[in-house]
Structures are given as C-alpha cells and as structure tokens.
Amino acid sequence: MSRALYEPGIGYYTRPETEIGRAGDFYTSPHLHPAFGWMLGKLLEEIRPRITSKKFSVIEQGPGKGLLAKDILDRLKRKEIYEELEYFIIEINPHLRERQKALLKDHEEKITWLGSLDALKGKSLQGALLSNELLDAFPVHVVEMTGEGLKEIHVTTKNESFEEIKGPLSTPLIEEYLREFAPEEFPEGYRTEVNLGIKDWVREISDILDKGFIITVDYGYPGWELYSPERNRGTLLAYYRHQVTEDFYERIGEQDLTAHVNFSALKKYGEELGFNCLGYTRQGTYLVSAGIDGFMAGMDPFETAKIKGLLLPGTMGETHKIMVQYRGDGEPRLKGFALRNEAKSL
C-alpha cells in the first residue's frame, strides 16, 4: 500500500497525472463549496488568542489541489490575523505543488512549500497543524483471524499477478494495538486494518508544534465502532473515477487506497504527548454549531444546495468527523463543539 500510494514518480500521490476533484477519482469537502474553508479559517481566528508568539504558524499537510488553503487565506486576508500568519504546505508531489502555487499566487508571500514535516523539525512553532482526509491514506496492516490465531495479509506474486497470503504478524505492535482498541477478540474469518502510522505522525507534530492545535478532518470511527462485530470485512477500499472497488491489486498507482481512521487511537496518542482532545463530532454538526448559517444567509438555492452536501445526513456532514487537540494553557471551549461533543465516546 505504501509503494502503491507513495513510490516516487509512480505512486498514486506522487505521479504527475493524479487528479483530485470531479475530473479525478474522488473529491473532498473543499470541492463542494468554499464555505468549508471559510469555516476552518473562522476556527483559526478563534484559536489565535491562545497562541502567545507573534507569528501564528499554520501547517497544512496533504493539501490536494490547494483549494482549502485558498479558501482559508481568502477569508483571512481581510483580517488582522493575516499579517501574523505564516502558512506551511506539506506536499510530496512536485507536479501538484506547481499547480498549488498557480492557484495560490495571491498569497505566495505567506506560503512556504515543503516536502515533509521533517523539514520543520526543531522549529518550536506555535499555531495549528491542519489536515483534511490525510490519515485515511496512511498505509495500513491488514489482519485476519484464523483457526491458528491472528495472521497478517501479505502480498506475493503468482503467474505475473499479485496474490494474498496469510502469514505471521510483521510486528508485535499490531497485537498490542488491537488489545488496546478492539473491544473483544475477533471471531474466525474477521478481517480488518491496523494503522500504526498515526502514532509516528503525532510524534512528528509534537517535535514541531511547541504550543497549539491539531485539527483533523477525516472519515472514521471510535475504536469500539471500527472494530465492532458487524464490520468484519474492515474498511479498506480503492477509489477509481468516483467508483468504489475492492480490487486493490488492479491499476496500481492509478487508484486511491483508503481505510477509515481510528479516532480513539488519535486521541490517545495525542494525550500521551500533551495534546488534549477539546472536541470530536460529525462535520455537519461542527459546521452548524460554528455558525455556517451566517455564510448561507442570502445565498441562491444552488449555492445552498452545495453547502448542504457538507452538512446533512448521508453526506460528508455525517461520514466525516472533526477532532481538535490542544497543547497549551487552559482548556479552550470551541464554538463548533457547543451543540455536540462526542469526545467521551472515544
């Protein structure tokens, strides 16, 4: 999965041809309407008073076409916060980076493009790390319970095609993870995924962000729900031209691979490093609570319909969740979690 997605030049997220949006294989909230970015810009304004440094550093990782950054910066450009802002974009695809630069030319003096979080290590920044649909694209281990115990799904080749084989776990960390986050032992035949990369990612952020917020938007569940008995085939899927498929070994490098996020793990890993979870809720609930109706006032029905795709049940408003974690003084209460905060469910 790591090579299929990130192999330099030929992986799905590194090749020149990758297209995100209606012309590509999937689209994200910023493709529906700029209001999503406006609301995250509003969140940045809300948290700015908690940052004591003169510079307010925002790091966006996995920016796609750059639409989210544009919508955030367009909103903030007329605000006092814009003068204090430094915006880092973490983009591994050099071809995509050039397209982002063209889109964001009005804000180029504010933005620094980097190839990895590691480039910021040791900076002791204050501000926020922002990601939208990033963690679901982290490579996962696939495991299955057999009559001989838990096995990992490995990949080999046979007759010039890929084939799955069940073998020993590649690391004892897999069993440790499942003991912690799976509510009960899996029955025979149960298959699921384990994302060990999130822990390393939070540790990377901790080395960069001296004080501030981790803002995560993605689709996923609490651990007890992700590993529930009825979800016995896991969540790993491929996306190709807006079609969902389980043909993981077809079109390698030409289709997206994704698995749902365990938000319980994200919360725990943050807490271990001093990032307390201020809130976790559905995207639609958050946006309504934070005041998106203020943006919708006076809009024509066509615009309003697009925004409803960010809010309503059966849309990204229900499938996607927002989590905000914080390391700093006190425990800020954020407006977006006033209606409903499900952090305790994790």
pLDDT tens sequence across 155-186 = 999 888 899 999 999 999 999 999 999 988 99
**Per-residue pLDDT, 296:** 87
Residues 287-296: pLDDT tens digits?
999 999 988 8
**Per-residue pLDDT, 101:** 97
**Per-residue pLDDT, 244:** 84
Confidence check: pLDDT of 132 > 60: yes
Distances in Å between the alpha carbon of 182 and those of 173, 177, 202, 223, 345?
Answer: 14, 8, 21, 6, 14
pTM score, two decimals?
A: 0.96
**Per-residue pLDDT, 20:** 65
**Per-residue pLDDT, 11:** 93
Q: What percent of the chain has pLDDT over 70?
A: 97
Q: Which CATH architecture has domain 2-138+195-234+256-345?
A: 3-Layer(aba) Sandwich (3.40)
**Per-residue pLDDT, 22:** 58
Confidence check: pLDDT of 24 > 60: no
Quick one: average pLDDT of 116-127? 94
- Return mean pLDDT, the chain: 94
**Per-residue pLDDT, 262:** 98
Cβ neighbours, 10 Å, residue 248: 18
Quick one: pLDDT band at residue 285, thresholds 50, 70, 90?
A: very high
**For the packed helices 94-103 and 67-76, what is the interaxial angle rounded to 10 degrees?**
30
How is the chain split into domains, by residue range?
2-138+195-234+256-345
CA dihedral defined by 80, 283, 341, 323, rounded to 10 degrees?
A: -70
**Residue 243 in contact with residue 26, Cβ under 8 Å?**
no
297 secondary structure, DSSP code:
T
**Per-residue pLDDT, 21:** 52
Name the pairing type of β-strands 320-327 and 209-221: antiparallel
Quick one: average pLDDT of 238-261? 88
